[in-house]
Amino acid sequence: MSHATTAPHETHHDAHYPGGIMRWLTTTNHKDIGSMYLTFALIMFFVGGAMILAVRAELFQPGLQLMQPEFFNQLIGIHALVMIFAALMPAATGFANWQIPLMIGAPDMALPRINNWGFWLLPPAAILLTLPFLLAVFGIGDGALNTGWTMYAPLSVQGGIGVDFAIFSIHILGISSILGSINVIVTIFNLRAPGMTMMKLPIFCWGWLITAFLLIATIPVLAGAVTMLLTDRHFGTHFFNAAGGGDPILFQHLFWFFGHPEVYILLLPVWGLMPHVLATFSRKPMYGYKAQVYSFIAIGLLSVVVWAHHFFTAGLPVPALLYFMYSTMAISLPLAVLFFCWIATMWKGAMSFETPMLFAQGFIIMFGVAGLTGLVLADVAADAQYHHSYFVIAHFHYALFAGGIMGVMTGVYYWLPKWTGYMYDEKLGKLHFWLTVISFNLTFMPQFFLGLAGMPRRIPDYALQFTEFNAISTVGAMILGFSQLIFAWNIWKCARGHANGLAPAEGRAWEGATGLEWELSSPPPHHSWEVQPDLRQPGA
Amino acid sequence: MALLVRETLSGQAWVARRNPMLSSLQARRLTLAAAGISGGIALIFSAFGAWPVLPFAGIEIGALWLALRHLQRQAGDEERIDIDATTIRVTRRSEDRCDQDEFSRYWARLRVDRPPDKQTFRLFLRSHGRETEIGRLLTDTQKIVLEKDLRKHLGT
């Protein structure tokens, strides 16, 4: 006879953990590391946000008011790198750390020390990225990366020390991402609860698994590209120097081979969490689990074969233009399947509109705008007009803010009761949602019209006819930026729920929530699954 | 981690082992698939002159292989504690070795080490100047369960 031992969760001991800063420096616990990733992401979200608010303030009216064009260029480039690599990606990794072990019935991530190392690589990378700003104040160097986040050669070959700092920062961020990806892959493949087959894997984990493979496939290409840039700058090579027999377009191929899948690296974890939220607040099982999984796989595969649509105007041969146009448009098919499944999940459900559900609705509608305008940009003929215009800026902010950051906010509000043990302030959450969604559209909808009217991106000054739309966009951006303080306050309030008199959260914090993570107490015990769940048992 | 309690012909046994989902063959296939994708991409770019992508792809696949190998090597780890009428026997199996410690059931005692600055506590079995750690594959709560179970059987 044999039986698995059972023990109540209350018996876990937490009196013997190191306290203070040592806890955070040495922790190998997936929840601590997840919290650190999310906190880091929130801080860098405000850092990157502050940069772009300065940019929008400059663009409030034509002419140069607040800064010189060189500094403007540094702000827009670093804003993008900070938001992508230091805010959105760490937020997704924070979700992975917190949720994957809880959702698959594992006590922790498979490689906890590597997990710790992966996080602690991030702060030095962020410092490297932003340090040239400070050095320039003391007269060292000429400021941060000023080539835009894409670092196109030959401009970046000729740039100042900010490019070198960015190259090293990208290398460190890449190592961190690879360590995180390896950890996710081996955790999902090795530590699932008995009986949790791949087709029972929570869809959030599927989203992250595809993300991890995309990172494995693309990070070496980016690492190679920036290393080639470094050797071109300092060691006399000519990879991207046409005069020396090199090819500057090669850099664009390398960069976007990473850069386009990067969009899905940012979005797939969010698409993975969305069905859980929609099912919970519709009080229905999620619709089309298998269809969504196969769509994720299809999107992952297609994402690495469409990169050149980012530089249709670079002079590619016509067959290549046609191939990249049709392959890009093909991504809309699995994406449409996802949209259909999300809507079908809500169809005839007993829906309620708590903050996570509001954000999920906002995500679906505004990400739909990103998808539709993406189809326009995928058209080679139309792209010749829209390329390098504010239309592109508006499109990718609908994708990455509405699709990415609002998705992260959905996840934070959804899982915050599980993480903290307290229900967040619903009134503040709803206020945050409405301010965000209104001000976001106020900021970026006018930019579609600016782009259509011909305003180019990456300029600190513009023609007079663009003034009104820019003024509206700046007012929207200011409201959008400052309303995020409500988000930070709500998280802080919830993290200190007892002191703030918030209601304690039950294990199953939401009435309609299903999944292993909701079987645990809120917050979960130190070792998440002290007794491994067994899904082979009847009814499991 | 799983802790199984078994009744044997001569007494009782506690078996602690990991719960790997991936066999070594599957781990090899996973590494090969990742190497095929990443290496293939790197080779294509190398053909167009971007050969510095290759070493990064190699390092990355090497890291994935090491991580999977590390877990595979631990996959077969097992710790078994057998108690019969007179003895308590601790058997530890790992990839390349098998250790066994035997104590008198009557004399053996449990020691719990709860250092204030460590995240987990440790269990030791000792007797006549010899000591061996048990429950290294278990979580804290499973150790508590094991400790309670063993205390019922020791010294009797």
Among the residue ranges A191-195, A297-301, A482-486, the one predicted with the least confidence is A191-195
pLDDT at A162 over 70: yes
Report the gap between the CA of B139 and the closest CA in chain A (Å). 6
Average pLDDT over residues A149-169: 93
pLDDT at A537: 64
Write out chain B residues lying below 8 Å of A198, CB-based.
none
A233: amino acid identity, one letter? R
Q: Which residue has the higher pLDDT, A406 or B6?
A: A406
* Confidence check: pLDDT of B152 > 90: no
Across the interface, whether the CB atoms of A224 and B45 are under 8 A apart is answered yes
pLDDT recorded at residue A15: 43
Q: Which residue does chain A place closest to B23, by CA atoms?
A: A190
List beta partners, residue B130: B127
**Residue B78 to chain A, least CA–CA distance (Å):** 15
**N-term to C-term CA, chain A:** 21
DSSP helix/strand/coil, A197: coil
Contact B49 A250 (CB under 8 A): yes
- Averaged pLDDT, A127-139: 90
Dist. CA A347–CA A322, nearest whole Å: 38
Instruction: Report the residue from B22, B141, B146 with minimal CB separation from A12.
Output: B141
Which residues in chain B have Cβ-Cβ distances shorter than 8 Å to A194?
Answer: 19
Chain mean pLDDT for chain B? 84
Report helix, strand or coil for B17: strand
Reported CATH class of domain A26-519 = mainly alpha
Residues on chain A touching B48 (C-beta within 8 angstroms): 250, 253
Architecture of domain B2-18+79-153 in this structure: Roll (2.30)
Compute the distance between CA of residue A277 and CA of residue A220 in angstroms, rounded to an integer.
34
Q: Smallest Cα–Cα separation from A204: which of A436, A504, A418, A355?
A: A418
pTM: 0.87
CB contact under 8 A, A250 and B3: no
pLDDT exceeds 60 at position A14: no
Please state, in angstroms and as integers, the Cα–Cα distance from residue A2 to each residue in A429, A532, B14, B84, following that order.
49, 15, 10, 17
Confidence of residue A12 (pLDDT cuts 50, 70, 90): very low
pLDDT at A180: 94
- Which of A29, A110, A223 lies closest to B71 in CB terms? A110
**pLDDT tens digit sequence for A384-430:** 999 999 999 999 999 999 999 999 999 999 999 999 999 999 999 99
With a cut of 60, say whether residue A10 has pLDDT above it.
Answer: no
Q: How many CB pairs under 8 A join A and B?
A: 152
Identity at A514, one-letter amino acid code: T
Q: What is the mean pLDDT of residues A35-48?
A: 97
Would you give the DSSP letter of residue A524?
A: P
Using alpha carbons only, what angle is made at residue A365 by residues A99 and A362, rounded to the nearest 5 degrees? 55
CA dihedral B22, B25, B26, B28 (to 10 degrees): 110
Considering only A52-61, A89-98, A322-331, B83-92, which range has the smallest mean pLDDT?
Answer: B83-92
pLDDT digits (tens, 9 = 90+) for A447-473: 999 999 999 999 999 999 999 999 999
* DSSP 8-state class, residue B133: E
Among residues A46, A186, A33, A48, the alpha carbon closest in space to that of A95 is found at A33
Q: Is residue A274 predicted with pLDDT exceeding 60?
A: yes
Q: Are strands B12-17 and B78-83 parallel, antiparallel or unpaired?
A: antiparallel
Average pLDDT, chain A: 92
Report pLDDT for A8. Answer: 36
Using DSSP's 3-state secondary structure scheme, residue A430 falls into: helix
CB contact (8 A) between residue A107 and residue B50: no
List CB contacts (< 8 A) between A218 and chain B.
Answer: 41
3-class secondary structure for A436-461? HHHHHHHHHHHHHHHHHCCCECCCCC
Which residues of chain B are within 8 Å of residue A227 when distances are taken between CB atoms? Answer: 52, 56
Chain B nearest-CA distance from A447, in A, is 36
CB–CB of A13 and B140 under 8 A?
yes
Q: Report pLDDT digits (tens) over A275-306.
A: 999 999 999 999 999 999 999 999 999 999 99
Beta-carbon separation of B37 and A3 below 8 A: no
Q: How far apart are CA B146 and CA B156, in angstroms?
A: 17
pLDDT, residue B156, reads 60
Q: Tell me which of B95 and A175 has the higher pLDDT.
A: A175
| Smallest CA–CA distance from A527 into chain B, residue | B139
* C-beta atoms of A250 and B50 within 8 A: yes
Give the residue-averaged pLDDT of B27-51.
92
In angstroms, how far is the first alpha carbon of chain B from the final one? 29
How confident is residue A17, by pLDDT bands cut at 50, 70 and 90? Answer: low
**Does B42 contact A221 at a Cβ distance shorter than 8 Å?**
yes
Tell me which residue in B4, B27, B41 faces A221 most closely, judged by beta carbons.
B41
* Contact partners, residue B140, CB within 8 Å, separation at least 6: A12, A13, A526, A527, A530, B120, B121
pLDDT of residue A190: 87
* Strands, E assignment, A166-214: none
Residues of A in contact with B5 (CB under 8 A): 2-3, 5
Please judge whether B52 and A16 are an interchain contact, meaning their C-beta atoms are less than 8 angstroms apart.
no
Tell me what pLDDT residue B120 has. Answer: 64
pLDDT in tens, B42-74: 999 999 999 999 999 999 999 999 988 888 887
Q: In Å, how far is B140's CA from the nearest CA of chain A?
A: 7
Distance from the B43 Cα atom to the nearest Cα atom in chain A, whole angstroms:
11
Interface test with B, best of A186, A188, A227, A521 (most B CBs within 10 A): A186
> Residue B33: closest CA among chain A residues belongs to which residue?
A213
| Mean pLDDT, rounded, for A27-52 | 95
CB of A338 within 8 A of CB of A292?
Answer: yes
Confidence band for B75, pLDDT divided at 50, 70 and 90: confident
ipTM value of the model? Answer: 0.81
- Cβ A18–B4 below 8 Å, yes or no? no
% of chain A exceeding 70 in pLDDT: 95
Q: Are A123 and A117 in contact (CB under 8 A)?
A: no
- For the stretch A501-533, pLDDT in tens is 889 999 999 999 999 999 999 999 877 776 678
CB contact under 8 A, A7 and B64: no
Element (H, E) at B111: strand B109-113
Instruction: Give B136's contacts in chain A (Cβ within 8 Å).
Output: none
Task: Enumerate the domain spans of chain B.
Answer: 2-18+79-153, 24-75
* Residue contact A257–B67, C-beta within 8 A: no
User: Phi/psi at A431 (nearest 5 deg)?
Assistant: -60, -45
pLDDT for res B128: 86
Q: Is A315 helix (H, G, I), strand (E, B) or coil?
A: coil
Contact call for A114 and B67, based on CB within 8 A: yes
